[in-house]
Amino acid sequence: MIKIGIDYYPEHWDKSMWQEDIRQMAALGIHTVRIAEFAWGRMEPEEGRFDFGWLDEAVDMIARAGMKVILGTPTNSGPVWLYTDHPDTLQWDRTGKPTDFGIRGHRCLVSPTFRRYAGRIVEELAKRYAGRPEVFAWQLDNEMESNHCTCPACTRAFRDYLQKKYGTLERLNRAWGSDVWSGQISHWDQIKPLLSPDCSPNWFNPAYMLDYERFCAASTADYVRFQCGIIRRYDPEAVITTNSCFGANLPDFHQEFAPLNVAAYDNYPPLVLPKDPEALYSNAFALDFIRSFKQRNFWILEQLGGPMGCWSPITPAMEPGMLEGYALQAVAHGADLLSFFRWRTSISGAEMFCHGILDHSNQPNRRLRELAHLCRRLEAIPDLDQTTLNSQVAMLYSAEQEFALKNSTQSKGFAYWTQMRLLHDACMNLGVNVDILPEGHSLDGYKVVLIPTHFITNPEVVRQAEAFAAAGGTVVLTNRSGVKDQNGNCILGQSLPGAFRTLCGCSVQEYDAIGEANQRLRTIHGETHSITSWCDILELEGAKAWATYEGRFYQGSPAITRNRYGKGYAYYLGTVGEKGLYRTLLTEVFREQGVDMLEMLPQGVEVTARSGSGGTYRFYFNNTTARKIFRINGESIALAPFEMKIKQGEGQWL
C-alpha cells in the first residue's frame, strides 16, 4: 500500500494537544509520522545534558495509535550553545566570515568539532531508538546542499583532497592550465575555496572551480556516510534516508544517496502556474530525477500541504484538487510514501506562514477534507506499491555537467537543466515514461537514450552511445557536447561535438551564442519553430539535415541532424527550441523506434504508467488550470484542473 505520512513537531505544541492530534491523524488513515529533525535544542538543552523524555512520550503515543515514526537526526540546526561555545562549528559564507547562527542549516559539515557533537547526538538517539518496532525509518539531517563552506577546516580539507588527487603541484597546475593569468600554484597553502562575492564564477579558473565543486559534493556524501555509520552500528537493518531538495548548491545526489536505503525528496510544486505557455513548471522532471538516485521507487518526506510563506511572501491558496493531484503526480512517478508538510501551521518562528494541513484556526478545512479523500482513494488500491515505472526511454545526467556549466556560462539563458527539462516535458506530453540515469549506467532494455549537453566528455559515455546506436537504438544528443576534457579544459584539435562527431555524422563549423534572442528553424516536414540561446552551424559528414536555420548569415545551414549509425540512429540538436520542437522531434524518434506513446494528448496533460506484480495502472494528470477533454483509443476522457484519473489495466477507472 502507498503510505501516507504527516510531518509533526510535538516540541512546538503543549502536551495537552498531542493526544488529540495523534488521534485525528490515525482516524484519517495516516501510516507514518515524521518527527524531531529540528529538535536538537530540546534533546540537549545544555551541553552534555540530554532530555528524551518528551520524545519518548510522543513516540509511544504515535505507536499506541497504530502508526510508526520516521525519526530525524536533528543536526541541521544545532542549539545556540553549540555555536556560541564552539564557533568553529559554524559554516563560513562567501565573504569568508561565519554565518549568523539564527538561521537554519548554518553548520559546517566538515568541522571536526561539529562532527564530534553531531555524532554524539546521533549516537544518543541510536542507542535509544535503533531497532525499536515503532521506528519505521531514519531521516538524516535536513535538505542537505553541497557543503560550500570557506572556513579553515574546509580550506584544509580541500587542500588534502587535491593532494590525494594530484600528488604533486606540477600535476595539479598542468590539470588546471594554471599558466593562464599567472595562476600557477607554488605551495599547497595558496589554495583556498574560490567563492568571492564580488566576482562571477566565470572569472575564476573553471578547472579549479570544477575540482572545488567535486570536493564540496564529496564532503556532503562523506557526512551522510558518517551519520549512517553511527546508526548502523546499533541497527544494521535500519532503513535510512534523507530529504533532498534543489537549492543553490546542488550536491552529487548519486554519491549522497549511495549508502542510503531509499531516495527521498521534499516536493513543493508551484501554487501559481505561469501564464507563459513555454514555461517549464511541472514537477514531473524532479520526481523522475529523484527516482534516478537509487533507480527504484522513492519517498516524499515533505509533500505540499498548504500555501507557502517563509522564503517568500505568502502564496495564493491552493486550488481545489491541487493537494490531491500533486500528491498523485508523485505516486505516478514512483513515490511509495507521501509525508505531508505539516499537520498544523506553526504559530511562531520563521515558518509560521508556511501552511500545513490545518490553519492557525485549528479547525477542519478544505485541505483536510482533500487529504482524507486521498487516503481513502489510495487505500482502495492496496497493491499499488508493488508496481514501478518501466521505461523504454532513458536520459543521462551527471552532476559533473551541472558543476561545469554553472561555473562557465555559455550564453544568457542557457542552462543544462533547461535542456533536460525540455526533452523530459516532451516525453511526459506523449505519455512516455523516462528513466534518468547516471552516466555509466547500463543502457540495456532501452530504445532511445537522450544525452543533453554532455559538456565534460566522459569516454565511457561516448563508447556506450556508439554501441547503443550500432545495436539499433537511437541517441539524441544536444549542443555544447564534447567541449571539455575531464579536468574542465577545452579540447584542442577536434571539431565539436568532439568525441561524438563520428556518431553524429556532423561537425560544428561555427557557433552563435544568441542568448535570449529568438530566431527560427524549419524542419524537413515544413514546420517552423522558435529557437533561442545557442546555434551550432553544422556541416554534414554523412548525416542528413532534419532542420535548418532561418535568418542570420547561416540561413539554410543544418540546425538538427539525423545520422544512420550501425543499425540505429543519432540525432544532434545544435540549438535550443520551444517545447513544440521537442515534441515534434521525439514523436518521430519514438515512431521509428516503436516506443509506446499517446500522440493526441493536450498540452499540460501528463500520462504515466506503473506496472508490476500489483497490476498495471495508467495515471492521467491535468497539470493546468483549465478543463481538458480528449480521446484515447476511442474513449473520451475529461479532467478538471489538477485532477488525476487512474485506470487499472484496460478497464476500471479508480
> Cα–Cα distance between 130 and 581 in angstroms, integer?
53
User: Does 650 qualify as catalytic in the annotation?
Assistant: no
Query: How would you classify the pairing of strands 32-35 and 528-540?
Result: unpaired
Q: The domain at 393-593 falls in which architecture?
A: 3-Layer(aba) Sandwich (3.40)
Q: How many CB atoms lie within 10 A of CB 348?
A: 7
Q: Does 199 have pLDDT greater than 80? A: no
> Cα–Cα distance between 354 and 347 in angstroms, integer?
10
Give the C-alpha distances (Å, rounded to integers) separating 106 from 7, 75, 93. 22, 10, 9
Q: Does 202 have pLDDT greater than 90? A: no
Q: Does 196 have pLDDT greater than 90? A: no
> Of 643, 446, 453, nearest to 534 (Cα)?
453
DSSP letters, 520-581, are EEEETTS-EEEEEEEEEEEEESS-EEEEEEESSTTTTSEEEEEEEETTEEEEEE-EEE-HHH
Cα-to-chain-centroid distance, residue 469: 28
- Of 37, 44, 143, 606, catalytic: 143
Using pLDDT thresholds of 50, 70 and 90, give the confidence band for residue 195: low
Using pLDDT thresholds of 50, 70 and 90, give the confidence band for residue 651: confident
> Cα–Cα distance between 572 and 570 in angstroms, integer?
7
Q: Which CATH superfamily is domain 31-261 in?
A: Glycosidases (3.20.20.80)
> Of 111, 115, 134, nearest to 123 (Cα)?
115
> Cα–Cα distance between 381 and 46 in angstroms, integer?
48
- Three cell numbers written together for 572: 544532434
Classify residue 133 by its DSSP letter: T
| Of the listed ranges 203-207, 360-364, 426-430, 593-597, the one predicted with least confidence | 203-207
Average pLDDT over the chain, rounded to an integer: 96
Q: Does 197 have pLDDT greater than 70? A: no
**Domains of the chain: which residue ranges?**
31-261, 393-593, 605-648
Residue 463 CB contacts under 8 Å (≥ 6 apart), including other chains: none
Model pLDDT for residues 106-163, shown as the tens digit of each residue? 999 999 999 999 999 999 999 999 999 999 999 999 999 999 999 999 999 999 999 9
Model pLDDT for residues 319-328, shown as the tens digit of each residue? 999 999 999 9
| Of the listed ranges 247-251, 296-300, 459-463, the one predicted with least confidence | 247-251
Query: How would you classify the pairing of strands 568-573 and 474-478?
Result: parallel
User: Does 599 qualify as catalytic in the annotation?
Assistant: no
At residue 429, the pLDDT reads 94
End-to-end distance of the chain based on CA atoms, in angstroms? 15
Mean pLDDT of 492-520: 97
DSSP letters, 184-237, are ---SGGG------TTS-GGGS-HHHHHHHHHHHHHHHHHHHHHHHHHHHHH-TT
Give the C-alpha distances (Å, rounded to integers) separating 269 from 312, 420, 624. 15, 18, 12
Q: Does 56 have pLDDT greater than 70? A: yes
Peptide bond preceding 342 in cis form (omega within 30 of 0):
yes
Model pLDDT for residues 389-447, shown as the tens digit of each residue? 999 999 999 999 999 998 888 999 999 999 999 999 999 999 999 999 999 999 999 99
DSSP letters, 249-282, are S---HHHHHTTSSS-EEEE---SS--S-TT----
> Cα–Cα distance between 14 and 36 in angstroms, integer?
15
Give me the sign of the Cα torsion angle 131, 139, 328, 321.
positive
- Of 37, 302, 370, 606, catalytic: 302
